[in-house]
Amino acid sequence: MKNYLVWYQHYVNSHNHWKFKMLRSEFGWSGEGRFWALNNLIGASDNAILDLGKKAILASTADDLGLTIKQFRYFIEFLDKECELIIFVDDKVTTEIVRSNLRDVMKSREKARANKNKHLEKNLPEKEESFPKLLKSYR
């Protein structure tokens, strides 16, 4: 079962929150755009956690956001310390909005998986009954 997101929701008035106003005061609207692009990258990552401790991921993410690695490190630090918009632990980054969406989606996926398995079990004939019927059908 996949453990990443292909879409997520967020509040339409999030741009009015002090965290986003702080972000825009430092980076302008491009900072907010980069934040949401970073959320997209996090959401598409395994368990919605982006491992920036891996040099290739760090460089790729910085490039995806149109930043140098030095600029990206500053951006991440600002998101963490000043805006409190990311959860940053041991070079791994995630956000509450993405984690929350992933938890909800995983519950739905688990429920769908259980329903599918229940349906399959209900509709499969018992082995003892089906094997003789199968043999008779080939005679």
This prediction's pTM: 0.74
Of 12-21, 36-45, 106-115, least confident by mean pLDDT is 106-115
As a whole number of angstroms, the distance between CA 124 and CA 65 comes to 50
What is the domain range of residue 64? 14-113
87, part of any domain: yes
Q: Report pLDDT for 133.
A: 58
49, part of any domain: yes
90, part of any domain: yes
Q: Is the pLDDT of residue 89 over 90?
A: no
139, part of any domain: no
Q: Is the pLDDT of residue 125 over 70?
A: no
As a whole number of angstroms, the distance between CA 5 and CA 106 comes to 9
27, part of any domain: yes
74, part of any domain: yes
* Among 81, 83, 79, CA closest to 42: 79
Q: Which helix (H) or strand (E) holds 92?
A: strand 92-94
